[in-house]
């Protein structure tokens, strides 16, 4: 009888105020709220109330997701403790890959999540829950859904080409345009092969960037301009490059 007076009656409701606080709580704090309950007992009560664990600090911290204001990525940080509406880091990475417009690199996810994402990315690819492709000098990770992945891949390539187009050396642009005159109608991949041996090397991604910058896909196509007109059009593009940049 005395024991029941000293010990408060255990209830999952005892955990709710702690989980609803503005600061995250630890398992030890939850144990104390239950009268220094064991870990097993605390986990049993914890399963009966709404909560998520932090995806950093080895999941040491807890909070009530309904009390938090998640950002547009479904993330919230309380000090140096990071939470996701998905709970685990692995589930968060998969959701972000599925929602992304153009996929993620490992670095981009690390900057977004503030933790290393590569182990989760590697596991997702191994389990065929994500795919990856080398674009430029980095690997980009995409959704495992083929139609979604294709849209993401095209968006990433467009973004990459746009960035490259702003930094292309005039000499590279002229070399690609001259190669197109010699090989009218060639797509970027074929033109890159024609440029093999060029010094300095001109990789495919730069050829694609030139095509995007000048909308070259239509020049010399089967149903487009005749070869002579296509060549003249390319020469016109070369003339648009300022003289000081051609030297």
pLDDT in tens, 153-204: 999 988 887 777 777 788 888 888 888 888 877 888 888 888 888 888 888 8
Axis crossing angle, helix 89-99 with helix 118-126, rounded to the nearest 10: 70
N-terminal to C-terminal alpha carbon distance within the chain: 96
pLDDT band at 34 (very low <50, low <70, confident <90, very high): very high
* pLDDT of 16 above 80: yes
Predicted confidence at residue 224, as pLDDT, reads 43
pLDDT band at 93 (very low <50, low <70, confident <90, very high): very high
Predicted confidence at residue 169, as pLDDT, reads 82
Axis crossing angle, helix 106-113 with helix 89-99, rounded to the nearest 10: 120
Distance of alpha carbon 179 from alpha carbon 187, whole angstroms: 11
Predicted confidence at residue 218, as pLDDT, reads 64
Distance of alpha carbon 84 from alpha carbon 62, whole angstroms: 11
Q: What is the pLDDT of residues 103-115, one digit of tens each?
A: 999 999 999 999 9
pTM for the whole thing? 0.69
Residue with tokens 């797509």: 187
User: What residue spans define the domains of the chain?
Assistant: 2-67, 88-153, 168-240
The residue count for the chain: 247
**88-153 topology per CATH:** Arc Repressor Mutant, subunit A (1.10.10)
Strands 138-143 and 130-135: antiparallel
Distance of alpha carbon 241 from alpha carbon 231, whole angstroms: 16
């Amino acid at each position: 009888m005395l024991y029941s007076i000293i010990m408060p009656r255990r209830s999952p409701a005892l955990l709710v105020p702690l989980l609803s606080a503005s600061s995250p709580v630890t398992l030890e704090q939850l144990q104390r709220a239950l009268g220094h309950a064991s870990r097993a007992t605390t986990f049993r009560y914890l399963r009966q109330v709404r909560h998520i664990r932090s995806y950093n600090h080895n999941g040491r911290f807890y909070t009530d997701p309904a009390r938090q204001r998640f950002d547009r990525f479904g993330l919230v940080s309380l000090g140096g403790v990071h939470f996701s509406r998905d709970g685990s880091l692995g589930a968060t990475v998969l959701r972000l890959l599925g929602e992304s417009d153009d996929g993620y690199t490992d670095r981009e996810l690390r900057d977004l999540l503030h933790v290393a994402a590569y182990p989760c990315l590697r596991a997702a690819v191994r389990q065929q829950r994500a795919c990856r492709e080398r674009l430029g000098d980095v690997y980009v990770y995409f959704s495992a859904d083929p139609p979604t992945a294709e849209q993401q891949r095209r968006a990433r390539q467009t973004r990459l080409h746009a960035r490259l187009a702003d930094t292309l050396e005039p000499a590279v642009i002229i070399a690609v345009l001259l190669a197109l005159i010699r090989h009218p109608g060639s797509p970027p991949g074929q033109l890159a092969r024609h440029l093999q041996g060029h010094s300095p090397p001109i990789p495919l991604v730069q050829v694609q960037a030139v095509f995007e910058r000048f909308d070259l896909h239509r020049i010399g196509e089967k149903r487009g301009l005749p070869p002579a007109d296509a060549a003249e059009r390319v020469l016109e593009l070369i003339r648009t490059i300022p003289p000081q940049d051609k030297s």
